[in-house]
A and B are shown apart, each in its own frame.
Chain A
Amino acid sequence: MAEAHPVGFQWVMEAKARGAKVIHVDPRFTRTSALADSYVPIRAGSDIAFLGGIVNYVLANELDFREYVVNYTNAATLVSEDFQDTDDLDGLFSGYDPETRTYDPTSWQYAGAESEGDEEQDHEMQRETASALQHESHGSGVEAHPPRDETLQDPRCVYQILKRHYARYTPEMVARTCGVSEEQFLEVCQAWTENSTPDRTTALVYSVGWTQHSVGVQYIRTGAILQLLLGNMGRPGGGVMALRGHASIQGSTDIPTLFNLLPGYLPMPNAKDHQSLEQWIEAISQPGSKGFWANASAYAINLLKAYFGEAATSENDFCFDYLPKITGDHGTYSTVLDMIDGKVKGYFLLGQNPAVGSAHGRAQRLGMANLDWLVVRDLFEIESATFWKSSPEVATGEIVPEECRTEVFLLPAASHVEKEGTFTQTQRMLQWRQKAVDPPGDCRSELWFFYHLGRMVKERYADSTDARDVPVQQLAWDYPTHGPHREPSAEAVLKEINGYEVESGRPLSAFTEMKADGSTLGGCWIYTGVFKDGVNQAARRKPAREQSLVAPEWGWAWPANRRLLYNRASADPDGKPWSERKAYVWWDEATGEWTGLDVPDFEKTKPPSYEPPEDADGVAALAGNDPFIMQGDGKGALYVPRGLIDGPMPTHYEPGESPFGNPLYAQQANPTSKVYLRPDNPMNPSPPQHSDVYPYVFTTSRLTEHHTAGGMSRFVARLAELQPEMFIEVSPELARERGLEAGGWATIVTSRSAIEARVLVTDRLTPLKVEGRTVHQVWLPYHWGEGGLVTGDSANDLIGINLDPNVLIQESKVGTCDVRPGRRPTGPALRQLVRDYLEETQR
């Protein structure tokens, strides 16, 4: 966190100054470790074993926050008798189909709901469309009133299932799998559990590197299970905090730049199941479930109204048919492979540098070299605009500049200080950014680019009579502009996102005001309220000292300016704070409403004692002690019967590339991971295959000094000089073993490519004892390419395409490699070296 989020880390330091204990678990000793109270080195890719071990420690010693667990989680819920766990099936859950490498989740369902398992699309299609992303805020879509055993004794209740599932994650097993000593592991267990009480809470912070694993979603799930068991969710100082990778990555999933989502986590309709608006809305709202998704029709129709304006009416399903429909995997990696195969004509890159920043750099560049056209908008002439003339593939002869067919349009972009708008940070807080200076020369904002591009496209099709052009013609595309370059008003866009009454133009103050009849429109229901009272709430900057510790008047957080989600859980089932020290939101008997420091994440006047009638659904079905109001049963999900591709509970699988066999099960790696088996995407073999050709584990991450693929740092002298060269961090032991010289060069080889890096020998990397033998881990930053003031090979060239099945994110934080002294060969000899290694594995 100190490495990639130095500004945010000030709060960790502040907490530490107030007595918080900071524990850092990481494959390498980083700036964060330097400031932590204790540092735990871990083998990259073994996090579920580690966290699962803590879950086992909690359950075996009954250290869970019992009252919280019984009331607020699905611990008491009974699961179908058909369910079989990984313990029974040696690493697989029941319902696995080896043919499609997917599960039929019917047997995972709550007792009595078995028939609902496959009601949605089949799991193969779900994987293709990364459907679990939609559950990010949807919850697992379960029925409202499943059978429960609040004594937690029934062997089929989630609590008991969980206990059995993690029973084999003993401290000894954790030590064997993760390379963490038992003492250190128990120290973490102790610290975590002792600090999770009515009086105290523990926060779990991860950086997005956690997501870049073939089991990334399950990593986070394990953290969530632990935090639920210990009562750390919905309470101040608790939670699972995802540190995002860029300034507004939270914003770019809220109003997404993803193929399978629409704003506000509405799923992109698919061509097969969502033939009509009604079908689509039903798939979202899931009649029979509890919670606020029951109002999905309002959210969806408001979005359509925002898109198509007056053209969207109840008669024409609010132009639902105009929406593009997905038919399968249109993710970034399948797109790149399609480019290589010549199936893609054009590509827009906005502030993105896949030639350096995406996994399997060679595939990225070969793909881009096989387009008709490519538009790159960036601050500098990045590698994704120059791959055709100066990439490693030009050196190897795979791309010939004179013959490269791609026409590249490099358009200069305005930087964040040269345009206005909002950033949405990890706390879901929108902060308005004023423009400090005009962009120089031809640099323009993204808003300008898209507005005028859309305007010109509309002009081009204005007179078309072709039916397929009607959506473009009817697109509502009318924003006030200003200045000599006709810059669109960012506030006008924010107002549209917020939503307003069509008739009067009055901005909506809450998404509950959204109507499903077309009388209101709003671009992103969860953002409704950001323009409440016609005021740009995101621009508020009241200093902390002038308001409460929650600081509700700084910026604006979705939903409803709520700073802490599910904060109903900060009070006990009776609505009283769990403790004075941790009082946050509580039920005020006198006024008959929820009150406290934050906006209560609960219906304001629904008392804690409220019991819904049997036949209720939607919001009305939420009981007074159902804090997880977006979940179908109102409970925090320790066990996920629906919505995940790879199982209802996290299970340790080895990474796609590992020097070790899975110590826990026969099943080696995630059985459902999304793989692309093609000659240009080879994977390094793992046991039982011949794995010692690539004997070392590598992981990559960022340095404080650079920004992601380096587009904003390598081209700026005062940043570039801070870390001027690509390097590899190795332990002194590995340096000795491989004859690597400090300050010299090393070549790192995988089955995709080989790169070179300067050697930094450091005690911050330490060999670990895993499964009785020593494993060396090496670390690489991934900021360099051949452009900019400081150049170097790109670590992402080493990585293959192997994706998490739930969200289609690549496993780029762990892999195997060989490390050899000296520089890499150049030209065609580079490819020969890579081939030689691959052949070696086949021997």
Chain B
Amino acid sequence: MTHVQQGRRRRGAERSMVPEADFTSYYGRPIVKPSPWEADIPAYLFAGGLAAGSSLIAAGADLTGRPTLRRAGRLAAVGALGFSMAALVHDLGKPSRFLNMLRTVKLTSPMSVGTWILSTYGPFAGAAAAAEVTGLLPERYGRTSPLPLVSWLGRPAGLVAALTAPPVAAYTAVLLADTATPAWHSAYKELPFVFVASGSAAAAGLGMIAAPTAETAPVRRMAVAGALAELAMEHRMERSMGVTAETLHQGKVGRLMRAAKVLTAAGAAGALLAGRSRVVAAASGAALLLGSACTRFGVFEAGQESAKDPKYTVVPQRERLEREGPVRYHP
């Protein structure tokens, strides 16, 4: 219950779902501001993870001779990357100024670091995908253009993309955590693991959909491992989040997070048990993709909700004050 200790005035936004926690606020108004980000951003988080995982799968498939899986991975990576870039630009208040991101390198800004990670990863993922596209073109273009070179570059580009991919999945966790948004910041220790695991599971899921079962043994292993890791790390994250973990269980976010768990677990089970059934594999893959998306949207929305309710700013700080006294610098 939100206790707004302002005279005998009616209590504003009363939320009776949360457990009792006495705190004071200014008319129940938020202290920190929720990010101005909309659905673009969780979609971007999801797509980034998917791209990263897909690049890894593509490289693995390339090196282990799984051409369909390779192609799926490379194309998925570039598709997801393209989507995420579009989402990012769309989200900017002044999209025309996207290039301003590139006028500086700032280590203290996860968004700046992320921009440069993407800028490094993007061309290689693109080159790998381009090689894949050339393979799809009719033979006659073969001799009259630089296409053979592009095709030859597929492997090295794909490998570099794979090496630079994990930061793409991981940095988005820092992007969220390095804020004053209570539910994000309090999750900073586990969130990168949740995000990379979620990205791996999603990409593996896509691989299971796109490639014949003959090629998907590694991605099924990756799916199971990713899904289990995601579930485990998410569980752990909730414990270290303190009171802000409540936001993961309430309302829409609660539904999203429950769906994420069910879908991820089902996807993992499917991946484990699919055997030669393409249908089960595809269904499992879809569940994993959807589960990953639900996780990203859930975590994102939990942060937004935690920022909108002063409780999640005040109570953790008050608890810390009572536990440790005020935060003070001690060299």
Contact = CB atoms under 8 A, between A and B. Distances in A.
Contacts of A761: 8-10
Interface string B1-37: 0000001111000000000000000000000000000
Interface in A712-743: 732, 742
A18 to B, nearest CB: 32
Contacts of B7: 762-763
A742 B8 CA distance: 11
Interface residues of B, number: 4
A624 to B, nearest CB: 58
Contacts of A763: 7-8
Contacts of B8: 732, 761, 763
Nearest to A733: B8
A734 to B, nearest CB: 12
B324 to A, nearest CB: 35
A732 B10 CA distance: 10
Contacts, number: 10
Contacts of A742: 9-10
Contacts of A762: 7, 9
Contacts of B9: 742, 761-762
Contacts of A732: 8
Nearest to A742: B10
Interface in A525-542: none
A686 to B, nearest CB: 32
A742 B9 CA distance: 8
A733 B168 CA distance: 61
Nearest to B8: A732
Nearest to A760: B9
A42 to B, nearest CB: 21
B4 to A, nearest CB: 13
A742 B7 CA distance: 13
Interface string B131-172: 000000000000000000000000000000000000000000
A732 B7 CA distance: 10
Tell me what chain B mostly uses at the interface: helix, strand, loop, or mixed: loop
Nearest to A732: B8
B27 to A, nearest CB: 12
Nearest to A736: B8
Nearest to B7: A763
Interface string A759-779: 001110000000000000000
A761 B8 CA distance: 9
A453 B10 CA distance: 58
Nearest to B10: A742
A761 B10 CA distance: 9
A416 to B, nearest CB: 36
A215 B10 CA distance: 39
A763 B10 CA distance: 12
Contacts of B10: 742, 761
Nearest to A731: B8
A34 to B, nearest CB: 13
Interface string A585-608: 000000000000000000000000
B246 to A, nearest CB: 28
A836 B10 CA distance: 33
Nearest to A764: B7
A48 B133 CA distance: 96
B285 to A, nearest CB: 52
A742 B10 CA distance: 7
Nearest to A735: B8
A762 B10 CA distance: 10
A762 B8 CA distance: 8
Interface string A389-422: 0000000000000000000000000000000000
A763 B5 CA distance: 13
Nearest to A761: B9
B258 to A, nearest CB: 36
A799 B178 CA distance: 60
Nearest to A743: B10
B24 to A, nearest CB: 17
A377 B79 CA distance: 68
A742 B4 CA distance: 15
B29 to A, nearest CB: 15
Interface string A331-357: 000000000000000000000000000
A83 to B, nearest CB: 52
A594 B26 CA distance: 59
A297 to B, nearest CB: 63
A742 B6 CA distance: 13
Interface in A108-162: none
Interface string B215-243: 00000000000000000000000000000
Nearest to A763: B7
A523 B8 CA distance: 58
Interface string B183-194: 000000000000
A39 B8 CA distance: 20
A365 to B, nearest CB: 36
A741 to B, nearest CB: 8
B7 to A, nearest CB: 5
A732 B8 CA distance: 7
B228 to A, nearest CB: 51
A326 B9 CA distance: 55
A255 to B, nearest CB: 47
A834 B9 CA distance: 31
A737 B317 CA distance: 41
A593 B96 CA distance: 80
A763 B8 CA distance: 7
A326 B7 CA distance: 55
A582 B186 CA distance: 63
B88 to A, nearest CB: 35
B23 to A, nearest CB: 22
Nearest to A741: B10
B6 to A, nearest CB: 10
A759 to B, nearest CB: 11
A728 to B, nearest CB: 15
A737 to B, nearest CB: 14
A682 to B, nearest CB: 36
A762 B6 CA distance: 10
A762 B9 CA distance: 7
B222 to A, nearest CB: 56
B303 to A, nearest CB: 30
A753 B79 CA distance: 70
A329 B137 CA distance: 103
A718 to B, nearest CB: 22
A827 B220 CA distance: 75
Nearest to A762: B7
A761 B7 CA distance: 10
A493 B10 CA distance: 58
A453 B62 CA distance: 95
A730 to B, nearest CB: 12
A732 B9 CA distance: 8
B14 to A, nearest CB: 14
Question: Considering the complex of A and B, which 8 residue pairs feature the smallest CB-CB distances, nearest first?
Answer: A732-B8, A742-B10, A763-B7, A742-B9, A763-B8, A761-B9, A762-B7, A761-B8
9 contacts: A732-B8, A742-B10, A761-B8, A761-B9, A761-B10, A762-B7, A762-B9, A763-B7, A763-B8
Interface of A: 732, 742, 761-763
Given A732-B8, A742-B9, A763-B8, 7 more contacts: A742-B10, A761-B8, A761-B9, A761-B10, A762-B7, A762-B9, A763-B7
